[in-house]
Structure formats: structure tokens, C-alpha cells
Amino acid sequence: MRIVDLAAEHLDSYLVCLEDWSDEMKEAGDHKRCWYERAKREGLRVKLALNDEGTAGGMIQYGPIEASTAEGEDLYFVYCIWVHGYKEGRGNFRHLGMGKALLEAAEEDVRAMGAKGMVAWGISLPFWMKASWFRKHGYRKVDNQGGQILLWKPFTQDAVAPKWIRRRKKPEGTPGRVTVTSFKNGWCPAQNLIYERAKRATATFGDRVVFHELDTSNRDTFLEWGICDALFIEDKAVRTGPPPSYEKVRRLIEKRLQKSSRS
């Protein structure tokens, strides 16, 4: 196994989280590419784990916390760490130590740049981005928001603990119509997929439903709302993990329309 910096030969695979084989990823559009081009100018770093044949089996992306969804200084934020675990496509690379090797390489990288610590986020449920996995590797919890746990590993004694940027407000409806609001940052293809499905589903209802897009890759927009990626129907948030199907999104909009017509 080798840990390498992202190069042009692996860029397209990275942009779909190594799931080149997935038709779903094709639905997600080019939002991740647009985010990447901007984020790399702001200090984004990407590393891949390659097996002995040179196939990328895992990835980590991290950047200065000042451009992330958390508050902090002189720290780097892990957007995600992912090891391909499906039989489809390139195959299952889990339980080979790729995740640990990627995290250690990223930590070494940011230490060399003078960062005072590394920050990550996780969830308590036993799947992707498990908070318990980061704890096992020396991270400790410092904040929690809506089930998303913020963790960090300080490198220096004067490092200041980070905290989540809190949600400041939520969408309101449009009188006489149902409003679907999509917050889209671009960094995560799964969230981009939800945006595309919601936009497509909304269009089937004509002028009875309004689609409102908020591009949170614009830092001012993100800070105004304190929301990075989310989907709302009126003022109610839609659960987006795992990504709801197009059919489910459309049913939720239709249900809200029916409720509005009765009120």
C-alpha cells in the first residue's frame, strides 16, 4: 500500500468518491468538481491509498478549518475519509489499514505545515465516519450538533478547541405555494445527488411548488444560515442520510401539497 497526493490520473475517480461504476454518482452533476477547483485554491489537500497494483482504494480530503463548517484557528478539518467497501467496481478495500494510513499521513502533512491540530466529524451510528473510529485514533469530542460529533486531536499546548458553526435560521414558506429549499455546498456527491433529485422532482409540480437553491460554497451564504447541506420542504428538514430516492422526495412534496390544499 502507498499513500499518495491526488494527481490528474485519479482526479475523475476522486470526484465520485472512487465509485466510477455507480450510475447514481452520474446523477450528482459536476458540483463536486466546481467545489474542488475552488477549495484547492483555499488549501484543500487530498490523499489516496493505492494497493500494490496502483488501484485507489481509499481517500481523505482535508483543508484549513477557516473554510469549513466549524470555527477554529490554525487547525485542519477532515471533510471525509473513505475506503471503498463495495464488491462492485474496484472492490472491497476495507480492513486493510487504509483508513488509518490515510489519517496518519494527513496528520503528518498538516504538522509539517505548522498546524496546531486536526479536526474531524463523526456520527454515533455504526457506519460511515464513525465517531468511535476517530476516538480510537486519539481524537476526542469537543462539540455536538444534530447528532454530528466534532472531534479533534491537538498537536500543541496552545491549540484552541474548535466548535461547530450553529444553524442561525431555517427556511420559511412562500404564501400560496409549497417551497422546497436546497442548501448545496458541493463537497459531497451524496448531498449533490439530493439537490439534483429535489430540483427535478419540484419541476414536475409546475408553479404550485417553488424551488429555492442556496449555494453555501459562498462563505457569506453559509455563515448567514449556518447550514451547509440540507433539504427543506417548507420549514421541515428532510432526512438526507442515506440519500432519499427521487420517488421519495417527490412523494414528500406531494404530501405537503395535499396538506396545504386542505388547510
For the chain, which residues make up each domain, given as ranges? 2-164, 178-262
Q: DSSP 3-state assignment of 92?
A: coil
Torsion-angle region of residue 240: left (phi > 0), alpha (psi -120 to 50) or beta? alpha
Low-confidence spans in the chain with pLDDT less than 70:
126, 262-263
The pTM score is 0.94
- Give the model's pLDDT for residue 50: 98
φ, ψ at 175 (rounded to 5°) = -50, 130
**pLDDT score recorded for residue 128:** 80
What pLDDT does residue 214 have? 97
**Structure confidence by residue, pLDDT tens digits, 51-105:** 999 999 999 999 999 999 999 999 999 999 999 999 999 999 999 999 999 999 9
Question: Does domain 178-262 sit in CATH 3.40.30.10?
Answer: yes
Choosing among 3.30.300.20, 3.40.630.30, 3.30.1330.60, 3.40.50.300, the CATH entry for 2-164 is 3.40.630.30
